[in-house]
Structure 1
Amino acid sequence: MEAEACAERFLWCFARYHWWPDAITSDRGSNWVGRFWRHMCKLLGIDQQLSTAYHPQTDGGPERMNQEVQAYLRAVINQNQNDWDKWVPAAQMALNGRVNTSIGMSPFFAIHGYEPKSPVPLVTEAYAEEYPQHSPETRAKKFVTKLQQITDLCQASMATATQQQERFANRRRNAAERFEVGDKVWLDLRNYASERPKKKFDWLHAKYTISKVLDPYTVELADLPRAAIIGSTSTNSGERGRTQCLVSNAQTLNPHLSK
């Protein structure tokens, strides 16, 4: 597709609904790096973000989503595989209608402010009646059946992917160690600015006493040295000399806690 055609399609399919974006991430195809597209983005104030080979951090998300959409379409396209473009909107509807765990709502709700209508089950009295094979009613039933297949497949696939992501993420997660007020802990100062000439001598400066447990990952230490404090050290009570800090559980610090 030529750059001019891409611009027209972009206007027709995206910009008229969502306006011009701040940035566009794309590969380095000739239509994206050509003079027409580059100058158009410059005039519209769009930041071009071109992907780099073997670096999925740039457009890895869209590429992965394209693979998912392809998997959905394989189940409904014809034998010649030449009608896939007809079912892309159905796959998009299914993806946008599913609740995203990251934002707690579906993309459809985030844009429109209300949830989409739930898919209508096909096995109802309205669909039970038989019609001639090539009648308009039969063709309508086949069309809706494919829509339902894509919706079910998309939602099942996304549910499976969510479970796999949760399982992989939990492999390296460990329960946080429980600290109590009065416990002695080492303080890791690698991320603190030091006023002393050699910062390396401040690492694991000393054991400090926990004065308050804010949550399983954050505690408040008493009597911190001046060099270990960053910015304001005022607490809710207005006292100085204490700051919220994260206690490191690195193996090199064991035993990092003594009572």
Structure 2
Amino acid sequence: MDLPPLSFNASPEEKWDEEEDPEEIENVLKVVPPAYHQDLDVFSKVKAEKLPPHCACDHHVKLEGLLHPKKDGGFRLCVDYCKLNAVTRKNRYPVPPMNQLVTVFKGSTFFSKIDLRDQSSLQYFMSCKVLTCRQAHWAEFLSEFHFSIPYRPGRLATLPDALSHRDDLYPERGVDFKVLLQDKDFKELLNQLARGESVSDYTLEPQAKLLLFNDRVVIPSNHELQLDMYQKRRDSPLAGHPGQEKTLKLIKRDLYWAVMNQLIKDYVSSCQKCSRNKNIHHKKFGLLKPLKVPSGPWNSLSMDFITQFPLLRSFDSILVILDRFSNMEIFIPSYSTSTALDLAQICISHVFSKNGLPIIIKLKISIELSTAFNPETDVQTERVNQILEQYLWIYVSYHQDDWHTWLPLAEFSYNNSEHSSTKQSPIFTIYERNPSFDSINIPQDTPLGKLSTKLQSVQQVVKKELDSEINLFKKYADRNRETPSDLQPGDRVWLASKSVKKTRPTKKISERWLGLFEVLEKIGSHEYHLKLPQQWKSVHPVFHVSFLEPVKQSTIAN
């Protein structure tokens, strides 16, 4: 049983009372730590052989004992000599007297079995009266010499003792000449220096067994030795996994070997811990791939949900429907738990009944057309979400209990505003007129044929402006992007950690990249299917190329 350490005071003059006062035992409960209460019943027993030991002991010779409480709050050391005789060999390995044991252990930290130090009994060897045959043989041999065998506890060995230390445990220093001689590049150089010849930039330190190059230790072309230098000078917590330049400067301070620049660059670039935890500073992979401009109004739709609104009339989210041609928006109160059937019913009521069935419906959550965590395919809806949220911030009440009543006005405000891409408002693009803010509506006598022709011309201008806007947007977006390497099935990649929900307490000091993962196939022009572990069954295995980083293979063995 493991118990916390205690201190005790004992002396050989004190005697053990066989009968304990009940009041004294009650006082003991107050001074004995709670961890010992379950063993207090043994204190009332007077036979030492019945006192069980408190904890295990690994020594081959041991003395079983127990602490007994005293009136002054201290503890008395009780020893079971019967069990002591059972675990020792009588008349062969005698133990010191009890009074000497108590004197030695007085004031020390308690342990229930007193360990008899190895070889401590030798100090009584020459004065022992009863010897075994084996001991008598050595006693006769040693009687010819005048010596004494004092016992020195290990706690007194505060200074280094050469006789008690193994020489094979000392750390190795320097590079043995035998290792250097195996390197053909240094064999002739060492021979020249050994003959006393002067070699430029090289010196020899025979005492330290080191070859120096400009006061830096020369490391031979030994792969294991160089790899050990990499790990000690770069991978240790004192170095902190620095980059290529800092690693090179750290190693160059006092070490040198041939072609070290290229080898260090290779080692650092292929370090998996750095690849997993450090940020990537190159341009984002994957050029922008915008959607094609629709041929007319309400032919292509984009939809998105804005969630986490206060619950009002069972509504807790907003469904945003965008006509990608005219930029006209429809804001509809909805539910975060809406199913595909609910979404279809909303589209029938608010879109199809007024504008007909669109040619293309682009859903952001569609697996086939939009990659997870990559909303750049269609930034129109993302921008509309920001504008709607800003509008609601300004006009909703302090308690935010009227946000759904402002959606029709926010919809009108957005659709009546001129857009930079089309140079006109969505309402004008659809109806070829801008609505009036006045209470008096001025009628316009325009023939129906002229209106149709004018609408077609307006829509052609809008399409041309949208094409120009998308090309310009792609041009500026691709400035901060680069064409990714063409990954093949079987290649291994790192996966950006932001694309997977993690369980660690904070992402601030979490790894930036996860992996390694194998590429199974290429899907489309910018997406790849990865082989994920079994515990990631809930994660969709298709990722945009911007979330992938190819693994840099090292040319250094092992």
Smaller-chain TM-score range? 0.3 to 0.5
Name the structure where helix makes up a greater proportion of residues: 1
TM-score normalised per structure 1: 0.38
Larger radius of gyration: 2
TM-score normalised per structure 2: 0.20
